[in-house]
């Protein structure tokens, strides 16, 4: 039997997993220590009982350096979509040309 997981919950878990991977963390307990949140709060976010709120977004931003705009985008559209958009933007951006006078 397959469970239908709401996009918001799936995207929150994708983001938390990405953060753990990028920071070299192997457990949710380690992530909780880094983000200064309690394990029950993280569990509730992972299970969709508590939203990925502003305080958690700010904490993630402060610890990872990921912009708040990008974090919100990942939570709304998913990590993979944000990555492909970022790669697409990089491929189509014009190179900066320095002007020397």
Q: Provide the residue ranges of all domains of the chain, joining segments of one domain with +.
A: 7-81
Confidence of residue 86 (pLDDT cuts 50, 70, 90): low
Q: Is the pLDDT of residue 89 over 70?
A: no
pLDDT digits (tens, 9 = 90+) for 14-65: 999 999 999 999 999 999 999 999 999 999 999 999 999 999 999 999 999 9
Q: Is the pLDDT of residue 71 over 80?
A: yes
Confidence of residue 100 (pLDDT cuts 50, 70, 90): very low
pTM of the model as a whole: 0.79
Contact call for residues 35 and 56 (beta carbons, < 8 A): yes
CATH class of 7-81: mainly alpha
């Amino acid at each position: 039997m397959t469970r239908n997981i709401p996009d918001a919950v799936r995207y929150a878990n994708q983001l938390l997993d990405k953060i753990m991977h990028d920071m070299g963390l192997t457990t949710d307990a380690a992530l909780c220590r880094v983000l200064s949140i309690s394990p029950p709060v993280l569990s509730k976010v992972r299970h969709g009982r508590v939203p990925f709120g502003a305080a958690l977004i700010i904490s993630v931003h402060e610890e990872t350096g990921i912009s708040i705009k990008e974090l919100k985008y990942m939570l709304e559209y998913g990590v993979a979509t944000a990555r492909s958009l970022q790669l697409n933007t990089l491929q189509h951006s014009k190179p900066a040309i320095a002007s020397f006078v």
